[in-house]
Structure 1
Amino acid sequence: MKKLLGILFMLLGISVLANQENVIEYTHIRNATGILNYGGKKILIDPFFADKDSMEGFPGTYNSEAKNPLIPLPMAKEKIVKGIDAVIVTHTHEDHWDKTAQDTINKNTPIYVQHEKDKELILSQGFKDVKVVGNDTKIGNITLTKTKGQHGTDTMYKVPQVAQVLGEAMGVVFRAENEKTIYIVGDTIWRKSVEDVVTDYKPDIIIMNTGQAEFAQNSDFEEKAIIMGKLDLERMYKFAPKTKIVAVHMDTTNHNTLTRKELRTFIEVKNLDTNRVFVPNDGEKIKF
């Protein structure tokens, strides 16, 4: 009888363990670049590997006279790409997919992009395995779903030259059995489409680009932000009250107007729960 009970408890224990969610690890690299260990895969997001001060500032944007990136990588490029299974490129602006990253990443690495135009571009850069993310795109047992955003205001997109520069940028939802659901929002301002993703997928973790990158102060646009900022973080905190939020895309490029220091002060002043909201340093790992 004791032996039978022991076998029963052992089987129950195995069953419980099988239904437990796995530990997810997000390593913040710099800007919107991060490494996500999820579903047994190591996935690199929006690689931006340029050396400090090696690029011109983005013309027509805030503080454009500064050289990009403003800060160095926290570790060697070769260490970042070691062992990666795939790369997700939310869009091909230089601070998400630059020449140094293209030269560093193995050309046989699977790359996942938002549409055919980006696929053709990255294929032309010598990469062999480029896929467009849809509603049910697989990386092993992981399901990727492309989400919509808008990299600026409606007013900006009414100007054809500006719309062309801003382009399109996707977000991505990650799902897998026995894993928390993750929503990488991407370069977007707050839109109903963002709310719809949170409502439909109920993500456990949201990674937001909150540097409030802006056009230059002398631009014709009254609202100048082209990605989210601190007020959007607070809005998401309230809109998704059970979700953990990671705020990134700060301190690296000339056009970001919100710093990590300022955002941390805002979080403290607003009394937001720091067990729910994270503002990682470069190289910092967060486990969920």
Structure 2
Amino acid sequence: MIYKHFRHATSLLTYGDFTFLLDPMLAPKEDKPPIQNSSNDNRNPRVDFPIQLDQIEYPNFCLVTHLHLDHFDDYARNLLPKDIGLICQTQDASKFRDMGFNNLYPVETSIVIGSVEIVRVPGQHGTGEIAKLMGTSSGYILKTAHQPTLYLTGDTIYYDAIAQTLDEYKPEIILAFTGGARFKVGDPITLTPEDVQSIRLKAPKATIICTHLEAINHCLTTRGNLKEHLLAHSEGSFIIPADGELIHI
């Protein structure tokens, strides 16, 4: 498995026979306004994309966990080839069709692409009324022969369904969307350091790759305080990649 981290949740994942572009947010630094009802007025994205956009070699497939603008933005909509194999939630398929994409792979429960099985698993993007407003947000399990089982959490908090997913699939690699994103009022809507610790306790042998950090103004967890918390409170392998970092596992 090869993981190329770009920024936030955007990356290239080579898994089995395929390379997948994950959650492309391609806008330049500070091109977008702050997230509404957040605790600061910093524009987004907070950091530059680590390479020039014309240097991206678009693979045959793109996986979009959900259709929030920090996971699929207008730059991605305009730059991605319209015939790219676009893997998405069934709830998002009609919106992608309206954008002109014509090679969709909507996932209700699972799909198989070549030798790779992609299973959609639950996520919860916050608590209470905020979770309802945030809409459906899914995670994904990737499985293939001779590769570690991979769990892509998507935007979620840690709750019972996450524990059940870890028990059922026993992933060896976990791509965790962290950042502790939150609004002025209410609980976090993505994984906090405490949530990552809970994942570690449930899956002590897995390697956790922590992403979704320091690129959007309401993601308040930094790489530094996440690393400090994990070193102090849990054991096991974790990676907090820098923007542009390449990881071989």
TM range (shorter): over 0.9
Q: 2:82 & 2:19 partners in 1: Cα distance?
A: 17
Aligned to 1:262: 225
Higher helix share: 1
Aligned to 1:233: 196
Q: How does 1:18-37 map to 2 (within 5 A)?
A: 24-37=1-14
Q: Is the 8 A contact 1:114 1:132 kept in 2?
A: yes
Aligned to 1:184: 152
Of the three residues 208, 214, 218, the one matched with 1:251 is: 214
Q: 1:145 & 1:78 partners in 2: Cα distance?
A: 32
Q: Are residues 1:143 and 2:120 paired?
A: no
Q: How does 1:154-193 map to 2 (within 5 A)?
A: 154-157=128-131, 163-164=132-133, 166-193=134-161
Aligned to 2:80: 105
Q: Is the 8 A contact 1:62 1:256 kept in 2?
A: no
Q: Any idea what the Cα deviations from partners look like across 1:74-131, whole Å, max 9, x if unmatched?
A: 1122333x1412001111100000000111111110101112x311101111111112
Aligned to 1:21: none
Q: 1:230 & 1:264 partners in 2: Cα distance?
A: 8
- Partner of 1:241: helix, strand, or coil? coil
Q: 2:190 & 2:177 partners in 1: Cα distance?
A: 7
Q: How does 1:36-47 map to 2 (within 5 A)?
A: 36-47=13-24
Identity %: 29
Report the TM-score, using the length of structure 1 for normalisation. Answer: 0.83
Q: Any idea what the Cα deviations from partners look like across 1:179-227, whole Å, max 9, x if unmatched?
A: 11000000001111111111111111001111000011xx2x3xx2011
Q: 1:198 & 1:270 partners in 2: Cα distance?
A: 20
Q: Are residues 1:203 and 2:171 paired?
A: yes
Higher strand share: 2
Q: 1:79 & 1:169 partners in 2: Cα distance?
A: 30
- Partner of 1:34: helix, strand, or coil? strand
Query: Cα 1:103–1:155, aligned 2, differ >3 Å: closer, same or farther?
Result: closer
Q: Which runs of 5+ in 2 are unaligned?
A: none
Q: Which runs of 5+ in 1 are unaligned?
A: 1-23, 158-162
- Partner of 2:93: helix, strand, or coil? helix
Aligned residues: 249
Q: How does 1:86-125 map to 2 (within 5 A)?
A: 86-115=61-90, 117-125=91-99
Q: 1:225 & 1:136 partners in 2: Cα distance?
A: 28
Larger Rg: 1
Aligned to 1:6: none
How much does 1:135 deviate?
2.9
Of the three residues 53, 56, 59, the one matched with 2:33 is: 56
Q: Are residues 1:283 and 2:244 paired?
A: yes
Q: Any idea what the Cα deviations from partners look like across 1:23-80, whole Å, max 9, x if unmatched?
A: x1111110011111001111011000001010001111232x1100000001122333
User: After TM superposition, which residue ranges in structure 1, 4 or more long, deviate above 4 angstroms?
Assistant: none
Match of 2:96, as an amino acid? I
